[in-house]
Amino acid sequence: MKQCLACGSAYPMPRRDCPACRAAPAIVDGFDAYAPDLAHAGGGFEVDCFAELAHREAANFWFRARNRLILWALGRYAPGFSSLLEIGCGTGFVLAGIAAHFPQARLAGSEIFTAGLAFAAQRLPGVDLMQMDARHIPFAEAFEVVGAFDVLEHIAEDEAVLGEIHRTLQPGGVLLLTVPQHAWLWSAADEYAHHQRRYGGREIGEKIRAAGFEVVRSTSFVTTLLPAMLLSRLGRKRDDIAANPRAELELHPVLNYAFERMLDLECTGIRLGLNYPVGGTRLVVARKPQSSSLHHR
């Protein structure tokens, strides 16, 4: 179901306008826009980075390994899912991987910046892409899976977003997310990326449970590369990163290959049931209880 952001009425998808109050999303840069005032200046991200990401993420070890982990988690914890919304889909790199591996699923992607959606549309013809503020999601019990991959850390009101995701999921639906981890890894790179926080290991799980979810799986990732992360971030100033924001994406091909193989080994451990205690990223899988519904809230 859609849920009108103006009057709160629920109505069937894919209708655009609310039958109760006739409110409808604006059109910004060719996309349905549910928060049009934020489409070009929503904060929380350097918009100019989308072009660089679109150019480099498909070859970067971290994006590639994270994608494989996400695809495995979807197959393991949401087998046969038929619908998925990715919040903060950026250039569409993750969603394109999901589309290729799960062609049966109805996919949708949202992004606060239409600049990112322009790249996503090139990768994802036919996928429903929309401009949206994750603090105000225009759906109710509409998707079997919601994904948010390195998104929550950009939003001050992360607990409000988790509550919105809970309402958006069908009862029994799955939340899959990744977030940066460990406050002691905080650096100028986080400041440049407009991160609000790096999560503590228990912090994100506590917030997810408070939103009404049951945590099914929680593990660190990028464990073997923690020493390299520390070395790369020590002493780097925000001005240095601003002068060359591509630095963390520009690796010698040999290092890039070696790092990807190391993360693949970590993924193998996760698939075998290992939950790593520390790591630059945390993967969490959570489920909305079957007893949860709009009628009980």
Which domains are seen in the chain, by residue range?
35-288 (3.40.50.150)
- What pLDDT sits at residue 188? 87
Write the secondary structure of 212-244 as one string of H (helix), E (strand) and C (coil).
CCEEEEEEEECCCCHHHHHHHHCCCCHHHHHHC
Dist. CA 229–CA 276, nearest whole Å: 16
Residues with Cβ within 8 Å of residue 248, at least 6 apart in sequence:
189, 232
Beta strands in the chain (DSSP E): 2-3, 10-11, 26-28, 31-33, 83-87, 106-111, 128-131, 143-149, 169-180, 214-221, 281-287
Dist. CA 217–CA 233, nearest whole Å: 29
- What pLDDT sits at residue 74? 99
- What pLDDT sits at residue 295? 46
297 residues of the chain, pLDDT tens digit each: 999 999 999 999 999 999 999 999 999 999 999 999 999 975 666 667 888 888 899 999 999 999 999 999 999 999 999 999 999 999 999 999 999 999 999 999 999 999 999 999 999 998 999 999 999 999 999 999 999 999 999 999 999 999 999 999 999 999 999 999 999 999 988 998 899 999 997 999 999 999 999 999 999 999 999 999 888 877 665 555 554 555 667 789 999 999 999 999 999 999 999 999 999 999 999 999 998 765 444
Q: Kindly give the residue spans of alpha helices, DSSP state H, lying in 111-252.
A: 114-123, 158-168, 188-192, 203-210, 226-233, 238-243
- What pLDDT sits at residue 45? 67
Instruction: Give, as one character, the DSSP assignment of residue 173.
Output: E
- What pLDDT sits at residue 100? 97
Question: Exposed e or buried b for every residue in 143-175, given b needs 16+ CB within 10 A?
Answer: bbbbbbbbbbbbbeebeebbbbbbbbbbeebbb
Dist. CA 83–CA 108, nearest whole Å: 8
Q: pTM for the whole thing?
A: 0.92
